[in-house]
Amino acid sequence: MPIPSIRLESLGASVFTEMDNLKRELEKDGKSLINLSIGSPDRAPSPEIRNVLSQGVLEEDQYGYTLTRGTEEFRRVCAQWYQDRFGVILNPETEVLPLMGSQDGLAHIFLAYIDQGDLALIPDPGYPIYTAGLMLAGGKKIAIPLLEENGFLPDLKQIDPELAYKAKIMFLNYPNNPTAAVANLPFFEEVVEFAEKYDLLICHDAAYSELAFGGFKPVSFLQAQGAKEVGIEFHSVSKTYNLAGARLGFVVGNESVIGTLSQLKSNIDYGVFAPVLAAGAYALCNGQGSIVENQKAYERRRDILIEGCASAGWKMPIPQGSMFIWAPVPTKQDSVSFAMDLARDAGVIVVPGVAFGEHGEGFVRIAMVQDEEVLQEAVLRIQQFLNRKIKL
């Protein structure tokens, strides 16, 4: 058999793979596990959204190919949602593109713009697809440190100007995965100026814009003046409305970039399944109630985890958004050894921070993806684990 592509060698073995192997090993041994590692919604879409989807799949004429550009209805609804939510005006014909989940676009944008050896500015720690997509396209990563002392925002003044001039793309993500940090409009305005100075394409991943707590409302990068001239923004209908398995998202912004990505995708795949597009359009028009319900559910989960762990001495920052808690390692261990010990001893699976980049060391990511009863059990296990660690 031929050997695999060198592209795959560039990805290497990930910490995610190590943790998954450990999980399988523990399951084989009969260990009771609570998985707080994967960032996938565990809740179902609202009954109304499910009804639209189920009605669609029963119609005989819904099983043909759809265009890469999706349906006119879905694009129009996305544009209207953006205007209502952020006050951003979009042309649904040229500035909106449906995606098979936002990760579809996050990965393919590199193939659309990166040639062998091209540079891109990638947050560290950051969602792994940013690095993987770049590597698969043959590009080279310039890591932008996201440090606690900067609120996990990149310090644009610390980026080497020579490298910035050579880079083609800069990725951002707020509310952030994994750090749960948030960004404000003045920050995005600085980003626009930075992009104009260095001729960069800004790609902002806003998958968690609708998962925020305590009345906090994340802003869109496109609200910054001039943002549409330098960038695009990715949204996840999957995450917002609990349609993860249905795979639906969209990207909006710069007309030229949207057109280029659409051209690439038209040579790779077809469009999203028509009933999924219809369910997504319905959700964007009528799903505010389910968003509020989702926010309240995750806020309760957040409080269970943070308050329960604090009682055992594990202090964690309280996130304003996302479905994650970015928690400092509470023992004198690196993030991998702590996560593995927690899994083996307590049966609670979290992700070592170093899985998201070298600047993630010292932290673990906890995903709030179990119901409240299960999280209370997880807290009890963590408390007992930390008490044993302290005694040792």
Domain of 327, CATH number, reads 3.90.1150.10
Q: Helices (DSSP H) in the chain: which residue ranges? A: 6-11, 15-28, 47-57, 72-86, 102-113, 128-136, 161-166, 185-198, 227-230, 237-240, 255-266, 274-286, 288-310, 335-346, 372-391
Query: Which residues share a beta bridge with 252?
Result: 96, 233
Residue 1 located in a structural domain: no
Annotate 106-123 with three-state secondary structure.
HHHHHHHHCCCCCEEEEE
Q: Supply the range of the domain harboring residue 318.
A: 6-44+289-391
User: Is 258 within 8 Å of 252 (Cβ atoms)?
Assistant: yes
CA–CA distance, 262 with 69 (Å, rounded to integer): 7
Closest by CA position to 195, among listed 111, 254, 145: 254
- Regarding whether 56 and 37 lie in a shared domain, the answer is no
CA–CA distance, 259 with 346 (Å, rounded to integer): 50
Tally the domains of the chain: 2
CA distances from 186 to 23, 158, 216, 224, 252 (A): 42, 18, 16, 8, 21
Residue 116 located in a structural domain: yes
pLDDT digits (tens, 9 = 90+) for 278-295: 999 999 999 899 999 999
**Which pLDDT belongs to residue 80?**
98
Residue 387 located in a structural domain: yes
| Lookup result for tokens 């999980």 | 23
Domain boundary among 263, 286, 309: 286
| Ranges of residues in the chain whose predicted pLDDT is under 70 | 12-13, 390-392
**Which pLDDT belongs to residue 40?**
85
**Which pLDDT belongs to residue 391?**
55
Tokens of 108: 């393919």
189's CB contacts (< 8 A; 6+ apart) are: 224, 225
User: Is 352 within 8 Å of 335 (Cβ atoms)?
Assistant: yes
Residue 264 located in a structural domain: yes
Counting Cα atoms < 13 Å in the Cβ hemisphere of 303 gives 8
Query: DSSP class of residue 37?
Result: -
- Regarding whether 358 and 272 lie in a shared domain, the answer is no
**Which pLDDT belongs to residue 13?**
59
CA distances from 104 to 5, 33, 51, 197 (A): 21, 30, 26, 29
- Regarding whether 29 and 178 lie in a shared domain, the answer is no
pTM of the model: 0.96
- Regarding whether 193 and 215 lie in a shared domain, the answer is yes
- Regarding whether 157 and 261 lie in a shared domain, the answer is yes
Domain boundary among 254, 286, 318: 286
Pairing of strands 324-328, 167-173: unpaired
- Regarding whether 219 and 358 lie in a shared domain, the answer is no
**Which pLDDT belongs to residue 201?**
98
CA–CA distance, 185 with 51 (Å, rounded to integer): 37
Domain boundary among 286, 315, 344: 286
